């Protein structure tokens, strides 16, 4: 037997759910609005982070990707990209049981003359991973997925930082 809810009760429940979602601060992650009219990414074409960052900037719709640094209002210069695997713990038999993946990325934003618009920044991402010798292939795939997730997280953090920062106007030479 199927019971039908009265339409008033259904609309009351729907309104309550929507009010709770709005009250908790839930908000869909929209596109980012960058403070630059044009931006040049000084990254190689084969860079996964560079390709994802270009895609994110194009989807923002407010900033044009320049083909050369001299044609852009700002240039994003990547610094060092450092990936590391650290053993966190070993079992009683001396086998690795936990790993830490660490991804360190530095960057800076300059104008066409090479002056800093945004101070140098560093993003550090860390993920912990349990390890099991009996499931080597599965753990290697999990590690690959974690690295990929860290690259996606890096792109989102770069976009948030670029959108939130107020560019410092370069000091004119006297």
Q: For the sheet with 38-41, list strands across it.
A: 64-65, 38-41, 74-90, 96-110, 116-130
DSSP 85: E
Q: Which residues pair with 77 in a beta bridge?
A: 108
Q: Which CATH architecture has domain 31-164?
A: 2-Layer Sandwich (3.30)
113-157 pLDDT per residue, tens = 888 888 889 999 999 999 888 888 998 999 999 999 999 999 999
CB atoms within 10 A of CB 68: 9
Are 169 and 120 in contact by the 8 Å Cβ rule? The answer is no
Which residue did the predictor score with more confidence, 114 or 65?
Answer: 65
Could you tell me the CA-to-CA distances from 144 to 24, 50, 85, 102 in Å, in that order?
34, 18, 12, 13
pLDDT at 132: 84
For the record, the structure tokens of 64 come out as 């044009």
Say yes or no to pLDDT of 30 above 80. no
Distance from C-alpha of 160 to C-alpha of 31, rounded to nearest angstrom = 10
Candidate ranges 20-29, 63-72, 109-118, 164-173; pick with highest mean pLDDT: 63-72
Between β-strands 64-65 and 38-41, what pairing exists: parallel, antiparallel or unpaired? parallel
Say yes or no to pLDDT of 29 above 60. no
Among the ranges given (19-23, 42-46, 52-56), the one the predictor scored with the smallest mean pLDDT: 19-23
Distance from C-alpha of 127 to C-alpha of 98, rounded to nearest angstrom = 11
Are 40 and 68 in contact by the 8 Å Cβ rule? The answer is yes
Say yes or no to pLDDT of 9 above 60. yes
Distance from C-alpha of 101 to C-alpha of 105, rounded to nearest angstrom = 13
Say yes or no to pLDDT of 28 above 60. no
72-117 pLDDT per residue, tens = 888 999 999 999 999 988 888 888 889 999 999 999 998 878 888 8
What are the structural domain ranges in the chain?
A: 31-164
């Amino acid at each position: 037997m199927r019971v039908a809810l009265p339409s008033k009760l259904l609309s009351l429940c729907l309104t309550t759910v929507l009010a709770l979602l709005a009250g908790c601060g839930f908000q869909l992650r929209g596109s980012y609005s960058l403070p630059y009219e044009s931006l040049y990414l000084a990254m190689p074409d084969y860079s996964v982070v560079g390709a994802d960052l270009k895609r994110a900037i194009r989807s923002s719709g407010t900033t044009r990707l320049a083909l050369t640094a001299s044609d852009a209002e700002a240039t994003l210069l990547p610094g060092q990209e450092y990936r590391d695997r650290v053993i966190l713990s070993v079992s009683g038999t001396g086998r690795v049981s936990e790993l830490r993946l660490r991804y360190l990325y530095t960057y800076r934003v300059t104008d066409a003359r090479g002056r800093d618009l945004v101070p140098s920044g560093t993003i550090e991402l860390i993920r912990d991973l349990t390890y099991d010798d009996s499931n080597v292939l599965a753990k290697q795939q999990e590690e690959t997925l974690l690295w990929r997730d860290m690259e996606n997280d890096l792109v989102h953090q770069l976009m948030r930082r670029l959108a939130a920062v107020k560019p410092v106007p370069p000091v004119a030479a006297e």
